[in-house]
Amino acid sequence: MLWIESGHNTCPKTGQTLVNTNLVSNRALKSLIAMWCRERRIPFGAAESSEGQNGVALNKAAFEATKMTVSFLLDKLGSDSQAVDMVNRVIYELRVFAKTDSDSRACIGEAGAIPLLVRYLGLDHPKLQVNAVTTILNLSILEANKARIMETDGALNGVIEVLRSGVTWEAKANAAATMYSLCAVSAYRKRLGKKTRVIKGLLELAREGPTSSKRDALVAILTLAGDRETAGRLVEGAVLDMLKEVMVELPEEAMTIMETIVKKGGFVAIAAASHMIGRLVAVLRSGTDRTKESAIATLVIICRKGGAEMVAELARITTIEMIIWELMGTGTARAKRKAASLMRILRRWAAGLEGDVLEEFSMTMALQ
């Protein structure tokens, strides 16, 4: 670097003129050196800042260095004689590499890392389990690695098992995040939605985990709920009861999922949501703009799909018209439209025209 900065444009070793003077940090080689030093307890300087990594593909030399480093790490990981602490350090290095960029993720996946990582998902070593499942999460960002995870024997089941019974909340949360990542592929979303253990694991994490873990679970649940069959399975798994429990802590996430479940889950979801009408009206009174929007949209769906019985349940709340009028004046654009729709439903029901509610439903839903 000092050679270049002093104005030279030739190689200090060969004297040949350099094509360009841009320097590319060989982070792969540096990581390899750092690991070698740690093994021998030799002090090594702190890793450089990752600033400047802007997603540009590594040049050929750097990519070859990455492949060499990955090969070295996987050779160590594949050895049965390694101590647990050494295995943990190796997997941590893979975790860092997998987070770097798509080239690194492709290199690790193509080198066969996923079957090796699966071995360590079930261990009761907290750091090792977290590093293993987080490496798989980072790898899953790449489309090709999604397929590898779904097709590798034991990989998907291993991640699901971490979701259900991981040693730490962090491990469970990253397993949930992996489910979310895999759901980006429609076929995988349907496949995951058919697995009872996935649904139960996510619901349990959303109920019992710390806030950050709950959020990871809720994001995965929302993605799964986009499939109609899975939405029905979520209802059977008592997703609405779970949402009622987390509504105070994470109201926006809970209301968004409730709207999706009621919209996609059919009459089973409507029946299950009927006991939530009072809670939804409470959100209309004191929620945020976003939660009010989801709440009013959910009430419209409940009343249209549920018919006169659901409308009558809503009409028993004495202040409902005043609340709707207020939302028509102060809500978001979408909330205003939904509030106007709900007001029409209530007026027609009051006039004895509730039959028109169901007749109007299919046409209105088609316009949404």
pLDDT digits (tens, 9 = 90+) for 80-110: 777 888 999 999 999 998 998 898 999 999 9
- Matching CATH number, 26-42+61-182, of 1.25.10.10, 2.60.120.650, 3.40.50.11540, 3.40.50.12780: 1.25.10.10
Tokens of 360: 């109007």
Tokens of 301: 């769906």
Give me the amino acid identity at 315.
A
Query: Cβ of 37: how many Cβ atoms within 10 Å?
Result: 13
pLDDT for residue 24: 61
Smallest CA-to-CA distance from 260 within 285, 287, 291, 228 is with 228
Cα radius of gyration rounded to whole Å, the chain: 27
| Local structure of residue 98 (DSSP, 8 states) | H
pLDDT for residue 78: 82
Q: For residues 324 and 285, is the Cβ–Cβ distance under 8 A?
A: no
Tokens of 267: 């009459």
pLDDT in tens, 157-189: 999 999 999 999 999 999 999 999 999 999 999
DSSP string for residues in 264-300: HSHHHHHHHHGGGHHHHHHHHHH--HHHHHHHHHHHH
Give me the amino acid identity at 124.
D
- pTM score of the predicted model: 0.79
pLDDT for residue 54: 43
pLDDT for residue 368: 44
pLDDT for residue 366: 43
- Measure the CA–CA gap between 292 and 17, rounded to whole angstroms: 66
The dihedral of CA 324, 329, 332, 333: what is its sign?
positive
pLDDT for residue 352: 80
The three-state secondary structure class of 117 is helix
Which residues of the chain fall short of a pLDDT of 70?
1-8, 13-15, 19-61, 353-368
Tell how far CA 156 is from the center of its chain: 16
